[in-house]
Structure 1
Amino acid sequence: MLKGLASFSGRYRILHMTWFAFFLTFIVWFSFAPFATTIQKDLGLTAEQLKTLAICNLALTVPARIVIGMILDRFGPRITFSGLLIFAAIPCITTAISQNFDQLLWNSLFNGIVGAGFVVGVRMVAEWFPPKEIGIAQGIYGGWGNFGAAAAGFLLPPIAVATSIYSSGLTNWRVAILTTGLISAIYGVIYFFNVQDTPPGKAFQRPRRSGGLEVTSTKSFFAVSLLDLGLILSLGLLTWPLAGEKIRFLNGQQVLLIWVFLGALYLFQFYKSWQVNQELVGSINPFAHNFLKGAKRYPPSARYEVRQIALLSFTYAVNFGSQLAILSILPRFFEQTFSLSTVVAGIIAASYPFFNLISRPSGGLISDKLGSRKWTMTCLTVGIGIGYLLMGNINSNWSLLVAIAVTMFCSYFVQAGCGATFAMVPLIKREITGQISGCVGAYGNVGGVVYLTIYRLTDIQTLYASMGITALICASLCGFFLKEPQASFGEIVVEKVNSQVPEKEELPEKKLTSI
């Protein structure tokens, strides 16, 4: 497959166009971070308000993954990704014309929706690549797409400076952010006319059940309900900073209404999950004769443990969640710690996500080759813990080059850990990989919200220490409780969906429209 990456035809064309779509969504998602201090000075924001904006930028990504996943299953990745790219122009335009904190806060919330684009490309890549290549294909898609966060730091500050000649020498952050939105919308149209959901002759399969994760035991049903509760509580965390004395964006009644809504949302999700698993669980009415005694039973070969999903959700909260938090604050950290300009700090901070080009694919590749996905995950998570504990000691007395080296060391383990996580996710139970991916991916955003909440209440050194200690705890749990998936390195047989699908590995190329 690596040889085919130089090609821009057939399935490789789909891969390249899809990772670039993901790349653009990440540039949009993190377009604010390189200009945080500039915008702070321009609009007179406080440090507390900047921290709040960073949290809000992650908030709606959690429910957006669920909603976009439903749209994806209904309409397919082509329409879904194109629509999301075009939508991305809206928060970019409104951010570019914002004049105060309240306007920026609403824009940050809606900008978080764009960050949910990852799940769309996962399905697109899975449709076009066979199982024996799916790991490296997903690693390339995720790693190269995630590089958009680094590109935001590299590309947007120079654009802002280049256009400053038209704004009396001020850094023109508004033009830079506006430009990202317009490019995203244009590419959304290009993407729509140049890709298709599946290879020629293969039908796009929609799930028979929706609304909840299908489990194989009653205990797993309640375990999934706890995972859903964690997602809801992460959204509730946002009411705290927004209603604080220093922000006062929400009043007491509005906070109460939000919590009532979140409670109702959780009960609705619990009911939908029960509907999917009713034959297994039985009645949830304690007075019914079949209370928690359903008639359905799964054979051992069809069972899976929700504990595996919970552990992988924790690992993704540790690796991807910490990455989300750091990307929002690292430019400001380097700028203030080493007294650098906004442009230089943005470029240096981009060294953290820079390794996404190779680290995330290598994490999946190491997991494939080492012979144990469990211990690959464990060792990489230990590296994450060590990396963040080292970053917590960076101060102005350090050499800038050493600080950058430590940042890149940590970055490698974080992103390789992301790749190792999704090397295991499809092996838990292949029939529901999409739903499992949605849960694990959502917890990555939960980790980002939790870490940024810690940062808001403390300082960046405490944040680094929290990340490091949490990663070491996670590594211990993986070492003791994470199980090697069944047939982890075996040959996976995929049923044909349509008899017209060619049996050759290389699918026939269909001439696509271009604009």
Structure 2
Amino acid sequence: MRQDGKATRINLFDVTTPSMRAFHLSWIAFFLCFFAWFGIAPQMAAVRSEMGLTKDQIGWLIIGSVAITVVSRIVCGELCDRFGPRLTYTWLLILGSLPVMGIGLSHDFKTFLAFRVAIGAIGAGFVITQYHTSVMFAPNCIGTANATTAGWGNMGGGVTQFAMPLLAAFFAATLGLGDYWGWRASMLVAGLVCLLTGVAYYFLTQDTPHGNFSELRASGRMAPAGASKGTFLRTARDPRVWVLFVMYAACFGVELTMDGVAHLYYHDHFGLSAKAAGFAAGSLGLLHIFARTLGGYISDRLGGRWGLKGRVHWLFVALLLEGLGLMLFSRMPTVALALPAMIGFGLFMKMSEGATYAVVPFVNKKALGSVSGIVGAGGNVGAVAAGFMFKGAIAWPTALFILGATVSVASFLAFAIRFSLETETEAARECAEAEDQRRQLAEAKPQPSLAGAVA
């Protein structure tokens, strides 16, 4: 049972409907984007030794890895509005795979930085993932759907922390290629998988529950592509978009920063080996199995009870607890204390991300791509800004403490996000209709509450 063709529940083991195919393909695609995007991060100790990189150069690499994503996310959001998520994701994966494979050609800081910056464009996969699930799922579960696809996709940033060193070791030791070619071969594999996934996305998904943008426009059921011109500028004039931009910078920006520095932080600050540091850093990413989904799920439940105001207030609470937790983590003197502290603040960090994109679809439905792109770019702007604190001038524990304090202050911006009575009423009506349809579906054909469905 569907609301205007949109799914009113998430049946995890159903791949026969357009909504669930988009759900699974979008999180898998984003998982691989994230895996490739930060695939080099856990191997930086080897790269640093080989190329003789300084702390300042490491800082520029951290900044470069997320800088171009600011632009690519905004561009991909606009492309989704005009051409649909299917074609946008296909070309992002295919073109983005080239620098991932090509980084093995680098031989010094300048060439390595150039490829590292280019790889960052693939991080725009997040915006397409959020766009695709937003148009496929009804308001009663849109927060959970967005949070789950993004969360499981972001999990690639955790898996890559321990998977890439193991893959590089396989090429270097088991196949006898040596350290020089080990990390290069591992990045080649990551790029090839992204390229193949781009081809699969084209053939296995469609833009909306009713078909592709091209088909809908040809039949007159959708406005021409030119009708979306100017939506970005109109969206950019909405102050709520920029508040969400800053708040997403305070959660996803912190995550990107941690993805870039966590391995070296555990390696240098606590003296762990490369593999041990990889597992320690990777544990943060594995929270995406449930944490971001939990943030979206709570937002959906609070939204169903208290409307859009409930969603916004939950975002405030999650972000505030993230900031306080990060400050605590920065003060931990041993690995035994640092790991649980990191897991604690990481839980609220990822729930904040899910809570943010449980609000985004309600800001401007006619310019969903532009809103998603601008807010998504905020995460990368936050990471770029935070990256300057890790260039060597400030001790990393101090930088983390300052970052946590900044996040705590940013959480109070949530009270500036307001919706009109008309928007609140429409959202409440759509949510109630979707819940009614979901209950009718459950009565007609009972489904397992946990094993087969989420939300």
- The answer, yes or no, to whether TM exceeds 0.5 is yes
CA contact (8 A) 2:94 2:198 kept: yes
Show structure 1 runs of 4+ deviating over 3 A.
168-171, 204-207, 211-215, 481-486
Deviation at 1:130, TM superposition (A): 2.7
Partner in structure 1 of residue 201 of structure 2: 191
Say which of 309, 312, 334 aligns to 2:244. 312
The Cα offsets for residues 2-35 of structure 1, whole Å up to 9 and x where unpaired, read as 6611222212122111110111111111111111
Q: TM-score, normalised by structure 2?
A: 0.83
Point out the more displaced range, 185-194 or 1-10. Answer: 1-10
The aligned residue for residue 412 of structure 1 is 347
Residues 127-142 of structure 1: matches in 2 within 5 Å?
127-142=135-150
Task: Name which of 101, 106, 114 aligns with 1:98.
Answer: 106
**How far 1:474 moved relative to its partner?**
1.4
| Among 373, 381, 395, the residue aligned to 2:311 | 373
Which residue of 2 is the match for residue 243 of structure 1? none
| Partner SS state of residue 165, structure 2 | helix
3-state DSSP class of the match of 2:374? helix
**How far off is 1:199 after superposition?**
2.8
Q: 1:4 aligns with which of 8, 11, 15?
A: 11
* Residue matched to 2:266: 334
- Matched-pair contact (CA < 8 Å) for 2:245–2:378: yes
**1:432 paired to 2:382:** no
Residue type at the aligned position of 1:4: N
State whether residues 68 and 120 of structure 2, in contact with CA within 8 Å, keep that contact through their aligned partners in structure 1: yes
How far is 1:126 from its partner?
2.6
- Residue of structure 2 in register with 1:228 after alignment: none
The answer to whether the 8 Å contact 2:247/2:413 transfers is no
- Greater RCO (CA < 8 Å, at least 6 residues apart): 2
Take 2:104 and 2:205, find their aligned partners in 1: how far apart are those partners? Answer: 31
Match of 1:475?
A: 411
* Amino acid aligned to 1:477: L
Say if 1:72 and 1:120, in contact at 8 Å, map to a contact too. Answer: yes
Partner of 1:159: 167
Counterpart residue number, 2:453 = none
Return the alpha-carbon distance in structure 2 between the equivalents of residues 67 and 211 of structure 1: 13
Matched residue type, 2:197? Y
Aligned partners of 1:427 and 1:485 also within 8 Å: no
Per-residue CA distance 1:398-425 (angstroms, 9 max, x = gap): 2x23211111111111110011111112
SS of the aligned residue for 1:6 comes to: coil
Is structure 2 residue 424 aligned with structure 1 residue 492? no
Q: Residue 48 and residue 17 in structure 1: after superposition, are their counterparts in 2 closer, same or farther (change >3 A)?
A: same
Structure 1: gaps (5+ residues): 216-220, 226-305, 495-503, 507-515
- Change in Cα spacing, 1:493 to 1:170, as seen in structure 2 (3 Å) is closer
Q: Which moved more, 1:434-443 or 1:411-420?
A: 434-443
**C-alpha contact 1:389 1:465 (8 A) present in aligned 2:** yes
Residues 1:82 and 2:90 are matched in the alignment: yes
Q: CA 1:485–1:440 in 2, change beyond 3 Å: closer, same or farther?
A: farther
Deviations 1:65-84 (A, max 9, x none): 22223333333222221111
Contact 1:373–1:484 (CA<8 Å) still a contact in 2?
no
**Structure that is richer in helix per residue:** 2
Q: For the residues of structure 2 that align with 1:66 and 1:445, how far apart are their CA atoms?
A: 11
**Matches of 2:399 and 2:196 in 1, distance apart?**
38
Question: 1:147 is paired with a residue of what secondary structure?
Answer: helix
Please say if residues 284 and 346 of structure 2, whose CA atoms lie closer than 8 Å, have aligned partners that are also in contact.
Answer: yes
In structure 2, relative to structure 1, the CA distance for the partners of 1:192 and 1:505 (3 Å cut) is: farther
Question: Per-residue deviation at 1:484?
Answer: 6.0
Do the aligned partners of 1:424 and 1:485 also contact (CA within 8 Å) in 2? Answer: no
154 and 8 in structure 1: CA distance in 2 versus 1, 3 angstrom threshold: farther
1:210 aligns with 2:229: yes
- Which of 25, 50, 53 in structure 2 is aligned with 1:45? 53
Other structure's SS at 1:60 match: helix
Code of the residue aligned with 2:190 in structure 1: it is T
Which structure 2 residues correspond to residues 23-34 of structure 1 after superposition, within 5 A?
23-34=31-42
Q: Is the 8 A contact 2:74 2:370 kept in 1?
A: no
C-alpha contact 1:428 1:485 (8 A) present in aligned 2: no
Larger-gyration structure (1/2): 1
The DSSP-based 3-state class of the residue aligned with 1:491 is helix
Match of 2:325 in 1: 387
Q: 2:128 aligns with which of 114, 117, 120?
A: 120
Tell me how far 1:168 sits from its aligned partner. Answer: 4.2
- Map 1:190-269; keep pairs closer than 5 Å: 190-200=200-210, 203=216, 205=222, 206=225, 208-213=227-232, 215=234, 224=236
Question: Counterpart in 1 of 2:358?
Answer: 423
* Partner residue in 2 for 1:278: none
